[in-house]
């Protein structure tokens, strides 16, 4: 292994027909992210990722109905969420455990045929939103809100989170965020999901493993940390001195840099636009202004682009989301991509088992405990 392959940089580890990043352009199943972000509902994206084609009207209506009808979670999950001290638990840890638990209440969890896997896909995609929103409400002492069958996925997410039907601008913002985060080639959490199910383990195991990988601050956890940074900075004039100090201490700036993108993350411009609009609307422009200053500074001084997690922070903050719910919302969206990759892995499976270059001691003789110093 050379320094350049550390972290498997540049290694092509599988073939996939789900999403592609070529010359810093992202597409889902051949459709440009720019077109999808402007025009698609999240349900359309789910259908596209799982079926490799855009749905016609009746296919889309059917999926929307299935998702809305499957959103309720078993009472046992709600009881579980009430059973521990939620104030000390990160929502991503709660989500990881709750999705694993969900598998215990699905009597098809270990049925591995294609049709059962598709039914489970719908259930997991539907119920993950309800787990996140129920957790959020229960820890505030509020009752969980049941989904409504006539609402879209984005609407139901906001309705179950806030207990009231959302405004159009909120629905549009959440829908676009869900579309933009849905899939991203062989990112760390998707790779984790594929490695897990390539042992022929079940979908719940794959999604649980992926949630664990997304939680880390170098991956999905960055969005929460961006808001933490902006809050610490506090005012626009503090932004550059704060960043200079971080860089001088060799600390990473959250939401900046990417393993694959060199010129820029094509999703970031949409989130930047949304951040501009929503922070203006809510009188919180300072978060957007601060973010622009940081983005410009890092681009000029480090040559690094803002990634998807950078502006999503001020977008979600403007929508009133608790900061530690940012990454769970990412997971809600990325579940669609994880499931697509899991189904693709099952479809043409081979165990994923690379090698390690051994760098430990040479072979040596065993020393009995009495003879050890």
Ligand X SMILES: O=C([O-])CC(=O)C(=O)O
Q: Does 147 bind ligand ACO (CB under 6 A)?
A: no
By CB under 6 A, name the one of 257, 266, 328, 337 that touches ligand ACO. 257
124 within 8 A of 95, measured Cβ to Cβ: no
Find the binding residues for ligand X in span 302-331 (CB under 6 A).
307-308
175 within 8 A of 151, measured Cβ to Cβ: no
33, 186, 267 from 20: Cα distances, Å = 10, 9, 13
- Total residues contacting ligand ACO by CB under 6 A comes to 18
Cβ 49 to ligand ACO shortest distance, Å: 17
Cβ 302 to ligand ACO shortest distance, Å: 6
N residues, the chain:
373
d(CA 284, CA 293): 15
Q: Which is nearer to ligand ACO, 102 or 253 (CB)?
A: 253
Assess whether 341 carries a catalytic annotation.
no
d(CA 236, CA 176): 27
Find the binding residues for ligand ACO in span 302-361 (CB under 6 A).
302, 304, 307-309
By CB under 6 A, name the one of 64, 184, 276, 317 that touches ligand X. 184
248 within 8 A of 295, measured Cβ to Cβ: no
The helix or strand, by DSSP H or E, that contains position 20, with its residue range, turns out to be strand 19-22
9, 199, 354 from 4: Cα distances, Å = 7, 28, 17
Burial of 287 (0-12, 13-18, 19+ CB in 10 A): buried
By CB under 6 A, name the one of 55, 91, 147, 255 that touches ligand ACO. 255
Q: Which is nearer to ligand ACO, 81 or 254 (CB)?
A: 254
Find the binding residues for ligand ACO in span 225-244 (CB under 6 A).
none
Cβ 45 to ligand ACO shortest distance, Å: 17
d(CA 95, CA 136): 11
Cβ 56 to ligand ACO shortest distance, Å: 32
Residues with Cβ within 8 Å of 48's Cβ and at least 6 positions away in sequence, in order, are 28, 29, 31, 36, 40, 54, 55
Assess whether 258 carries a catalytic annotation.
yes
Cβ 31 to ligand X shortest distance, Å: 17
Find the binding residues for ligand ACO in span 165-224 (CB under 6 A).
218-220, 222
Which residue's beta carbon is nearest to the bound ligand ACO? 257
Query: Which ranges in 70-184 belong to alpha helices (H)?
Result: 75-81, 91-104, 114-138, 153-162, 168-181
Active-site choice (258, 265, 324, 341): 258
Q: Which is nearer to ligand X, 123 or 184 (CB)?
A: 184
DSSP symbol at 166: P
Structure tokens at 109: 């969890």
Find the binding residues for ligand X in span 252-281 (CB under 6 A).
259-260
Query: If contact means CB under 5 to 8 A according to the sort of partner, which of ligand ACO, ligand X, none does residue 255 touch?
Result: ligand ACO
SS3 98: helix
Q: Which is nearer to ligand ACO, 21 or 256 (CB)?
A: 256
Q: Note the residues at the interface with ligand ACO (CB under 6 A).
A: 7, 218-220, 222, 252-259, 302, 304, 307-309
Q: Which residues are catalytic?
A: 258, 309
Q: Note the residues at the interface with ligand X (CB under 6 A).
A: 184, 187, 259-260, 307-308
């Amino acid at each position: 292994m050379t320094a350049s392959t550390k972290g498997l940089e540049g290694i092509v580890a599988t073939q996939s027909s789900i999403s592609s990043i070529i010359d810093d352009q992202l597409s889902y199943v051949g459709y440009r992210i720019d077109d999808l972000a402007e025009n698609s509902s999240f349900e359309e994206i789910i259908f596209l990722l799982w079926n490799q084609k855009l749905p016609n009207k009746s296919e889309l209506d059917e999926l929307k109905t299935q998702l809305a009808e499957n959103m309720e979670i078993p009472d046992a999950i709600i009881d579980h969420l009430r059973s521990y001290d939620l104030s000390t638990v990160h929502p991503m840890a709660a989500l990881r455990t709750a999705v694993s638990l969900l598998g215990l209440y699905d009597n098809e969890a270990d049925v591995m045929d294609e049709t059962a896997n598709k039914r489970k896909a719908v259930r997991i995609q539907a119920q993950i939103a309800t787990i996140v929103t129920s957790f959020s409400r229960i820890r505030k002492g509020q009752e969980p809100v049941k989904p409504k069958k006539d609402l879209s996925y984005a609407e139901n997410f906001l309705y179950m989170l806030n207990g009231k039907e959302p405004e159009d601008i909120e629905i549009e913002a959440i829908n676009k965020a869900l579309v933009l985060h849905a899939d991203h080639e062989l990112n760390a959490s998707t790779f984790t999901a594929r490695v897990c199910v390539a042992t022929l383990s079940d979908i719940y195991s794959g999604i649980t493993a992926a949630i664990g990988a997304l939680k880390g601050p170098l991956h999905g956890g960055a969005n929460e940390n961006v808001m933490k940074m902006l809050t610490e900075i506090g005012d626009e004039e503090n932004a550059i001195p704060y960043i200079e100090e971080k860089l001088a201490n060799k600390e990473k700036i959250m939401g900046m840099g990417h393993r694959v993108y060199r010129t820029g993350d094509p999703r970031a411009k949409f989130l930047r636009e949304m951040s501009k609009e929503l922070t203006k609307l809510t009188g919180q422009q300072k978060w957007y202004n601060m973010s622009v200053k940081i983005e410009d500074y890092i681009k000029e001084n480090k040559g690094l682009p803002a990634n998807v997690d950078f502006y999503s922070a001020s977008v979600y903050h403007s929508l009133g989301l608790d900061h530690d719910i940012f990454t769970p919302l990412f997971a809600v969206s990325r579940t669609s991509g994880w499931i697509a990759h899991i189904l693709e892995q099952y479809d043409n499976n081979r165990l994923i088992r690379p090698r390690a270059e051994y760098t430990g001691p040479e072979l040596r003789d065993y020393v009995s405990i009495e003879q050890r110093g």
